[in-house]
Amino acid sequence: MVVRVFHRVSAVIPKTHEDAVSDALYDRTDAVSVAVGEIVEAAPLPKGLTTAEALFDAVPDLDRVRLALAAAGLDPVPELDLMEIADTDWVTASLRDLTELHAGRVHIYGSHHPRPLRDGRIALKIDAGLAFGTGHHETTQGVLLALDALARRTRPRRMLDVGTGTGVLAMAMARYFGRSVLATDIDEVAVAVARENARINGLSHMVRCATAPGMRHPAIAGGAPYDLIVANILARPLVALAGDITDALAPGGHVVLSGILGWQARWVTHAYASRGLVLVARVERGDWATLVLRRVQAARGV
């Protein structure tokens, strides 16, 4: 585990602004990681509200954070909570009140849970550490359900997980399909966490982790084309990456896209359909949609 001290800024925001807040915090601040709607609260928030958290590796400029939230359409800007945390504190905080999760054939549990019985499920032990994505957010659950369905009818050979976070999806892919997976993230801390989680689950030989700031990075481009690509990020970057992701996808291959609010699904679908992909499934969990598309012909320009 990478030993670092971070500064966490959190705020309670309307769920209707999740995507805008996440984009604004990434685009307008120096946050190294952002999580919106992924934090398990000790006490449930009122209906329609969720928590946005950003991690900084230096003391953040709170005025800049407030301006980012204002740019996301929050008026008034919510109260900010600032806390200094070390990696050991973050493990405890991120797993606070975390319950075990079943999604499809995947069973996710933390180090504070007893190892589940062998019942035919894919058991994955996940500690969030300094990365986000324990499998308990609707976007991750949607991908796991999509993978469960794909595993019953496809046998991809080359697989890629973009924005791997804790590595939970990459590990699920490796277990579902029995093939190696390239797990990438722009955050080197997330890559370190994913690599450690793969080791804990005995999957180091099947999950290769790499820091890659874009689809054209040699670590990703060198393994293309892929039969299955998973990208659980956000709608805007998914649209921006539509061309690169399509180019990296083999004919007949599938892409699973998540981090998409329901009302954004048509926008994202169009970006990929215009490049020769066909929507074959849509999984809805809460306010979020996961899209499964198949490339049936060579890519063409928009």
Q: Residues within the annotated binding site for S-adenosyl-L-methionine?
A: 140, 163, 185, 232
Pick out the residues of the known binding site. Answer: 140, 163, 185, 232
Tokens 């800007």 belong to residue: 77
**Which is nearest to 81 in space by CA: 71, 93, 73?**
93
Q: How many other C-beta atoms can be found within 10 angstroms of the C-beta atom of residue 185?
A: 28
Lay out the sheet containing 101-103: strands in order across.
Answer: 101-103, 106-109, 122-125
Burial 230-267 (b: 16+ CB within 10 A, else e): bbbbbbbebbebbbbbbbbbbeebbbbbbbbbeebbee
Tokens 């200094």 belong to residue: 84
d(CA 19, CA 15): 9
